[in-house]
Structure 1
Amino acid sequence: MSSVRIELDNRGGTFTCLDYVTGRVIMNINTEETISSITVKMEGISRTRLLPPRTEEGRDSKRAEIEIHRLLYLVETVFPSAEIRENTSASHTGYTLKAGQYEYPFRIRIPINSNCTEVQATGAGGGLLQKISFEKGNIDFAKKPTRHVVGTLPPSLSGIPGDLAWIRYFLKVTVNRPQFYRINMRAHDPFVFLPIEPPRASPSAKETYAKRQHQMIYTPSPTSPSPPKKRGGILGAFRPTVSAPATPLDPPETHHVHFSIEVRLPAPPILVPNTPLPLRIILTKLQPYRQPVFIRSLQIVLHAYTEITAHELRKTDHSVIPVLSLGELRTPLGAEYSPVGVELEADPHLWMGASLPDTVPPAFRTCNIWRTYQLEVIMGLSHGFLGPIEMIPLTMPIEVYSGIAPPQKLLDSTRPPLMPPPRKALSAGKSATSLTVPTAGVYPVSYSEKNTPMSSPVVPDFPKRSHSFSGEAQMMMPPAQVAAVSRPHSSAGGERAGGGGDELPPPTYEDALAEDIGPVDGPRRRYEQQGEYYGALPDDVR
């Protein structure tokens, strides 16, 4: 039986923008075959599937809404070669190959930006049958999407409950046979993708933070038991002792412990998986008290919010990713007589080595999936060693980056000169292009020039999120209302055919493929995906 497969040179690795994906197409044919061409396609698919909400009468529709965007679509013909195609007439239908094994090398470069267009978003080949899929006993139809986002290619994404949203990158080989009654041979091979980071600002002493005031009010126990009363006599040692009834003491003093507690991160708050958290925990006395406040427990969790849209439907998946969990702590914040108004910093050794797991994708926004993050620090504090423990949570929005810095030549090509020359008028029919990289996502937080911040961060208006993912999808707001929601700009850039982004246009694919800008040279984390990422593709994206 004839077969075809793909052999990658760097199987199991993590790819990024401007990388060359190289390998071989290996075809085995048992008998003489007539083949018109062999093509290798590099594709990136963003797919969402949502069920309509339930009503009192049941569901509005039994059919799920499916939205598919082809973010990446590059084709390389490995057979016949370009020289043979140039010397072959258009009426030539195929080439006859003898039985045996054939190998064809390929080399495709990953661009920086997505290229989601109307034509590419309708499914492979655009045929009706290729937009129909069979899932869970139902026949689903993928309608043509109308909104597209231009920007950096998003990372590979898997693990959303119910497989309601995913982003997959893969290579697909097709052996085209000219006979209509013979099925083309196909094979696909997935690969994992992480985008390069947006350019970072120079390091500074600025910090962003979450802060709150807290007051502990408690009264120690007003009584204490008297020492046990011993029985006299020869047999007294063998008789049980009897404790005297508790005697009232002087009315105890009520403790009022008033302080502020805050967590700080460098500004802007950017975290990278497998990199130690640059976290600081600071307490400030607001009123005098004697015994110090102790940290009795410490938890750090990452909240991941994935907004999923499928045409008129929208749903948000909220997942909690544990980062650190410590208990039975006795770490003081300051000394017994620390002055009021002085910042008392916690020992950073408590969370030394803690980092986000390497399975966390960077924050991104694409046509139908949007991922954002918040970091929450939960502290169990007590006044002194015997006071009651009170839990205090602090949350701040953060950006998660991939940890893959863009090549220096790419940054240099986007950096404007100190004295820009005067612009020249463009001749008719020509346009100016420049190699640029998308800007980083920015949250509206307040910074301080000194180490001591002057104001707390302003949390952006995130869409309403459910605390679980068991509910049904909600109807999406009209475009006018969606545009009114304040959202942080991500590296995905502006939105086309549905939203008005005012950022500079992204670089063209030809610019990104400039030969003088080499691939990224630096460490990369192992961004492992869950099992379904490597499985078969649905019918509507094959």
Structure 2
Amino acid sequence: MDVQIQIEDNENIHASGDVISGQIHIFCAQATTISKLTVNLIGESTSSLTGAPGLLFSRREGEKHVFVREEHLIVPSVRSARADRLEPIRLAVGCHSFDFALRVPWVQDCSSCPPNSPIECASEFEATWSGRSSGQQLPPSTKDLQKGTEVTYRVDAIVTTLRNMFKSRITKSSPLTIWPVDKITTHDDTKPSLSSAIATARATILGPGSLPLPPHRLANDIRGLGPAEIIISATFPPEFGFTKSCPDGASLQDTRKVALNLSVTRLNDHPQDMYLQSFQMLLVGYTDIRAGATTHGQMSFWTLQSLSNIGLQVFESSDASGTQHHIDPNLWSDVELDESVVPDFSTCNLVRRYELEILMGWQCRSGEHAGRVFFVQVRTPVRISSGLSPGRLRAKGEAGLLKDDTQPSQSLRHEEPRVMHRVSYAPPTYDEAVRASVRPV
């Protein structure tokens, strides 16, 4: 017997609230009795670390948590079952198909394996449920975090067959990519709100005629001009530092942008023009891993933008103190995030968070004379959003793509015409072909 899983629209990213539908195809080489057929949506968070060294070797610590488990019972069918008991079904030789539908939940609920238990216990669901709802949104599917550390989703088809009072079970799995839905989807990048995250940095820029002034000297010291003073302000939206606007069917890499408002304020009068000469943007990801009594922190870096010799004039010599200018957003409008930059999340044993670092090189000029380039750094925590809005469910429902997952699977009576139709076109088995080739004497 061969079991295959066919999931509709599996090449795209699924999100919280989506209905994952498809078919289970079972090919029987001989008449087979099925006592149970279930389809499960599984979400797991796995971590593995090397613990403290022992007498002979370092022990490997591991954790596996199941935070999503949704089940669809196909056989025995509730519709066709008798009132007193649930009956198995018998499948003839050939190919049989069964529909299923599973809804992705909105929040996670962690369970963990008992101590000193085999790691397979999570797939067997012999785990002890914590009994509490974390209330946190689902973590995204991840990869390349660290060897043995990942967040995965899959659809499991479990077929239990009955033969001569002995039961056997076949399990097939198909991986899924699931991301959470954004909590906040609308914001104005140019208007900071009360809850916006604002990072500031104050800098002193020396011009071509400027010299470092002793503390007891005045700004108009005869040894040279006083330095120009500026304050840089980076304003981020209340919830998410990055947004990914992903229409249905579009890939994440095609429509992502950085939501940032960068402004510079002049703090004193200065008879020289000020230029922005370089602009770098670095994203730092922190992954906190826990496995048993062992914890570990891992850092990842992504260079989002690196520009030099820009020569962008921000202030003129005639600008008064208190003048504010906004940096052209075209400097970072074409930033593309790597697919490994998943939304920040927190599970039972894994935490992913981010910080954004902006490094700018400033220079004062007077005619053909230019001073040194001084670098100013702004660094602040940011949140990474998925770009999947709650409105996508409504749009899919209006398009007729959303199925009702509360409808039970079709009973055997409804499957019989289709099953018999597929049997007539199924290829013969080896035994059937041998019997057909042997002619009676």
Task: Give the TM-score, by structure 2 length.
Answer: 0.72
For residue 404 of structure 1, give the secondary structure of its aligned residue in structure 2. Answer: coil
- In the alignment, the residues of structure 2 paired with residue 278 and residue 386 of structure 1 have an alpha-carbon distance, to the nearest angstrom, of 33
Partner in structure 1 of residue 161 of structure 2: 177
* Distance apart, 1:40 and its partner CA: 0.8
Partner in structure 1 of residue 419 of structure 2: none
Partner in structure 1 of residue 30 of structure 2: 31
Letter in 1 for 2:262: I
- The match for 2:236 among 261, 265, 279 is 265
* Distance apart, 1:271 and its partner CA: 2.2
5 Å matches for 1:87-102?
Answer: 89=85, 94-102=88-96
- In the alignment, the residues of structure 1 paired with residue 210 and residue 387 of structure 2 have an alpha-carbon distance, to the nearest angstrom, of 53
Partner in structure 2 of residue 306 of structure 1: 287
Partner in structure 1 of residue 381 of structure 2: 397
Instruction: Give the count of matched residue pairs.
Output: 367
5 Å matches for 1:373-522?
Answer: 373-384=354-365, 386-407=370-391
Partner in structure 1 of residue 413 of structure 2: none
- In the alignment, the residues of structure 2 paired with residue 104 and residue 145 of structure 1 have an alpha-carbon distance, to the nearest angstrom, of 30
Q: Would you say the 8 A contact 1:275–1:355 is kept in 2?
A: yes
Deviations 1:407-442 (A, max 9, x none): 5999xxxxxxxxxxxxxxxxxxxxxxxxxxxxxxxx
For residue 52 of structure 1, give the secondary structure of its aligned residue in structure 2. Answer: strand
1:162 aligns with 2:133: no
Q: Would you say the 8 A contact 1:67–1:143 is kept in 2?
A: no
Rate the CA distance shift 1:254–1:144 in 2: closer, same or farther, 3 A: farther
Letter in 2 for 1:212: A
- In the alignment, the residues of structure 2 paired with residue 217 and residue 282 of structure 1 have an alpha-carbon distance, to the nearest angstrom, of 20
Rate the CA distance shift 1:38–1:514 in 2: closer, same or farther, 3 A: closer
* Distance apart, 1:323 and its partner CA: 1.9
* Distance apart, 1:72 and its partner CA: 0.9
- In the alignment, the residues of structure 2 paired with residue 344 and residue 35 of structure 1 have an alpha-carbon distance, to the nearest angstrom, of 72
Q: Would you say the 8 A contact 2:40–2:71 is kept in 1?
A: yes
For residue 65 of structure 1, give the secondary structure of its aligned residue in structure 2. Answer: strand
Q: Would you say the 8 A contact 1:71–1:153 is kept in 2?
A: no
- In the alignment, the residues of structure 1 paired with residue 203 and residue 25 of structure 2 have an alpha-carbon distance, to the nearest angstrom, of 67
Partner in structure 2 of residue 338 of structure 1: 319
Partner in structure 2 of residue 352 of structure 1: 333
Task: Give the TM-score, by structure 1 length.
Answer: 0.60
Partner in structure 1 of residue 435 of structure 2: none
- The match for 1:278 among 248, 255, 259 is 259
- In the alignment, the residues of structure 2 paired with residue 208 and residue 379 of structure 1 have an alpha-carbon distance, to the nearest angstrom, of 19
Q: Would you say the 8 A contact 2:162–2:168 is kept in 1?
A: no
Letter in 2 for 1:216: I
Deviations 1:5-53 (A, max 9, x none): 1001112111112211110001112223232222111111111111114
Q: Would you say the 8 A contact 1:38–1:174 is kept in 2?
A: yes
For residue 51 of structure 1, give the secondary structure of its aligned residue in structure 2. Answer: strand
- In the alignment, the residues of structure 1 paired with residue 56 and residue 293 of structure 2 have an alpha-carbon distance, to the nearest angstrom, of 13
Letter in 2 for 1:24: Q
For residue 259 of structure 2, give the secondary structure of its aligned residue in structure 1. Answer: coil
1:122 aligns with 2:113: yes
* Distance apart, 1:340 and its partner CA: 1.5
For residue 84 of structure 1, give the secondary structure of its aligned residue in structure 2. Answer: coil
Partner in structure 1 of residue 104 of structure 2: 110
For residue 359 of structure 2, give the secondary structure of its aligned residue in structure 1. Answer: strand
Deviations 1:108-127 (A, max 9, x none): 1112122334xxx339xx98
* Distance apart, 1:4 and its partner CA: 0.6
Gaps in structure 1 of 5+ consecutive residues: 134-141, 223-250, 411-511, 516-542
* Distance apart, 1:63 and its partner CA: 2.5
Partner in structure 2 of residue 316 of structure 1: 297
- In the alignment, the residues of structure 1 paired with residue 268 and residue 303 of structure 2 have an alpha-carbon distance, to the nearest angstrom, of 34
Gaps in structure 2 of 5+ consecutive residues: 212-221, 245-254, 395-403, 408-441
Letter in 2 for 1:401: S
Deviations 1:271-314 (A, max 9, x none): 21344333233222233322222111111122221211123221
Q: Would you say the 8 A contact 2:42–2:153 is kept in 1?
A: yes
- In the alignment, the residues of structure 1 paired with residue 336 and residue 237 of structure 2 have an alpha-carbon distance, to the nearest angstrom, of 15
- In the alignment, the residues of structure 1 paired with residue 93 and residue 3 of structure 2 have an alpha-carbon distance, to the nearest angstrom, of 13
Letter in 2 for 1:130: E
Partner in structure 2 of residue 47 of structure 1: 46
Higher strand share: 2
Aligned-CA RMSD value? 3.6
* Distance apart, 1:60 and its partner CA: 9.1
* Distance apart, 1:344 and its partner CA: 2.7
Deviations 1:253-277 (A, max 9, x none): 4662322222222445542134433
Partner in structure 2 of residue 3 of structure 1: 2
For residue 66 of structure 1, give the secondary structure of its aligned residue in structure 2. Answer: strand
Letter in 2 for 1:68: K
Partner in structure 2 of residue 361 of structure 1: 342
* Distance apart, 1:319 and its partner CA: 1.0
Q: Percent identity?
A: 20
* Distance apart, 1:322 and its partner CA: 2.4
Deviations 1:324-359 (A, max 9, x none): 221221111111221122113223332233354455
1:70 aligns with 2:66: yes
- In the alignment, the residues of structure 1 paired with residue 376 and residue 55 of structure 2 have an alpha-carbon distance, to the nearest angstrom, of 42
For residue 405 of structure 1, give the secondary structure of its aligned residue in structure 2. Answer: coil
Letter in 2 for 1:102: H
Q: Would you say the 8 A contact 1:272–1:356 is kept in 2?
A: no
- In the alignment, the residues of structure 2 paired with residue 129 and residue 341 of structure 1 have an alpha-carbon distance, to the nearest angstrom, of 62
Q: Would you say the 8 A contact 2:63–2:349 is kept in 1?
A: yes
- The match for 2:201 among 194, 212, 219 is 212
Rate the CA distance shift 1:305–1:60 in 2: closer, same or farther, 3 A: farther
For residue 120 of structure 2, give the secondary structure of its aligned residue in structure 1. Answer: helix
Q: Would you say the 8 A contact 1:210–1:394 is kept in 2?
A: yes
Rate the CA distance shift 1:363–1:11 in 2: closer, same or farther, 3 A: same
For residue 23 of structure 1, give the secondary structure of its aligned residue in structure 2. Answer: strand
* Distance apart, 1:148 and its partner CA: 6.6
For residue 162 of structure 1, give the secondary structure of its aligned residue in structure 2. Answer: coil
